[in-house]
Homo-oligomer: A and B are copies of this chain.
Amino acid sequence: MYRLLVADDHPLFREAMVAVIARGLSGSETLEAASLAAALEVVAQHDDLDLALLDLGLPDAEGLSGLAQLRQAVPWLPVVIVSAEQHKHTILEALNLGAVGYIPKSTPRDTLLVALQQILAGQVYLPPDIMRTGSPPASPTAPLKHHPLTSLTDKQREVLAHMVKGESNKMIAYRLDIAETTVKTHVSAILRKLRVSSRVQAILLASERDDGIR
């Protein structure tokens, strides 16, 4: 059903997680990585993954830098943080880096399964105490789902439409009669909202489901 990557340096914890997945998400496939380097290698060779579970305690990744690297390498892959740490600041920072959820290691099995299903369904999962503090930074659930394009503003969609045609920032600026710096601003916003890291990826994503575009 799903293909997941479990990145954790503790073999025991990894196995436990895999077991939970195997039982709760029957038919799913799990890959494992004991380090960030291994995880990067795995995702490099599997572009059909649905979700990555990333531990924050990996030996070769300083805290959230691992998340940043993973997001950088494969922006299309949803990543959920699995960590013993539960500081609010860390959690919010992870979300800012594009994580789609944050699962404390203390989470009981049943809850864990619910969290995974929720995330695989396109929702964001956060520990209850964070959820209670009201809406986090900017994007709880809606923008992630099927229509990331709908979260774009009119102008951003307009710029994206020109990007899709293969035009450069300069040309778009000329066509829309705005400054190139303004185009850059829009492009940056588009990349952030679409959760990608280059204009090419944005274009591929947009033309894939160009429902909302032109």
Contact = CB atoms under 8 A, between A and B. Distances in A.
A165 B200 CA distance: 9
B44 A201 contact: no
Nearest to A166: B201
A190 interface: no
Interface residues of A, number: 17
A196 B166 CA distance: 10
B44 A198 contact: no
A155 interface: no
Contacts of A73: 171
Contacts of A174: 44
A25 to B, nearest CB: 24
Interface string A159-193: 00001011010010011000000000000000000
A200 B44 CA distance: 22
Interface of A: 44, 47, 73, 163, 165-166, 168, 171, 174-175, 196, 198-201, 203-204
17 contacts: A44-B174, A44-B175, A47-B165, A73-B171, A163-B200, A165-B204, A166-B196, A166-B198, A166-B200, A166-B201, A166-B204, A168-B198, A199-B200, A200-B200, A200-B203, A203-B203, A203-B204
